[in-house]
Amino acid sequence: MNIPLFGIGTFRLTGQTVIDSVRNALDLGYRAVDTAQIYENEAEVGQALEESGVARPDLFVTTKIWIDNYAKDKLVRSLKESLRKLRTDYVDLTLIHWPAPDNGVELPEYMNALAEAKAQGLTRQIGISNFNTKLTKQAVDVVGKGEIATNQIELSPYLQNPGLTAFLKEQDIHVTSYMTLAYGKVLKDPVLAQIADKHQATVAQIALAWAMQLGYSVIPSSTRRENLASNLLARDLKLDADDMAQIAKLDRNSREVNPDGLAPVWDD
């Protein structure tokens, strides 16, 4: 399952802001772009992808199905609309955005609909986002082992999810980390600052390198070209065992995103 370790996120970016962000990222060498139906920016992302001149096979595009489109008679249709906006015949990865347990559509229905989207060639791979261990097991039971490419979860030095990430590794489900910088909170961490000084790096680079060194993909967003360029340098950092041990101790199960009605009961 070939999911790039580094990509650009587009959460909360709209209009010309997201066009510029994606265009700058692609110009700097990014090739993976993450969006979602609920971000309401797929059309702008599609414009930036098309105008970049980067060949479609060289890009890795991810989108996420919103809860309004989970029903079996809506999901495929909604993904076709996403493809139209993104100006592409397929996406590389499509995720169920939230488990939304009170949404009225049961997990088997939307997972089967997602598998149907893959069977129709609308998406190369399928996955989930914000699923706990129990729901991940249920999703695997529906579509089969080896079918779920990734679980995209909030994960940072302050929220390391040891139980869930261990289970995902055991199931050969790739981990994609979002909110890796915890809304910027980790940027003020003295332990990370010390490690950053040691490597002559930024704290953001250290946090991103930490996640990638654990085998996770990261999708940080930025509206500033210099930050996009700086973040990309995290790929070249190699943290030592002591660095990783110090960061492991920063876990405080501190979650930034936990929307009522969408989120599951999280793993301890």
* Active site amino acids: 39
Q: Residue 12, SS3?
A: coil
- The label of the residue with tokens 């595009």 reads 61
> Do the Cβ atoms of 248 and 160 come closer than 8 Å?
yes
Question: Tokens at residue 28, please?
Answer: 């700097």
| 10 Cβ contact list (under 8 Å, min separation 6) | 18, 21, 22, 33, 34, 35, 39, 41, 45, 221
- The label of the residue with tokens 């996009």 reads 228
Closest to 64 in 3D by CA, of 3, 125, 18: 125
Cα–Cα distance measured from residue 64 to residue 95, given in angstroms and rounded to the nearest whole number: 5
Distances (CA, A) of 67 to 21, 63, 74, 171, 263: 26, 13, 10, 25, 12
Residue 199 in marked binding region: no
Q: Please state the residue numbers annotated as binding site for substrate.
A: 97
Q: Please state the residue numbers annotated as binding site.
A: 97
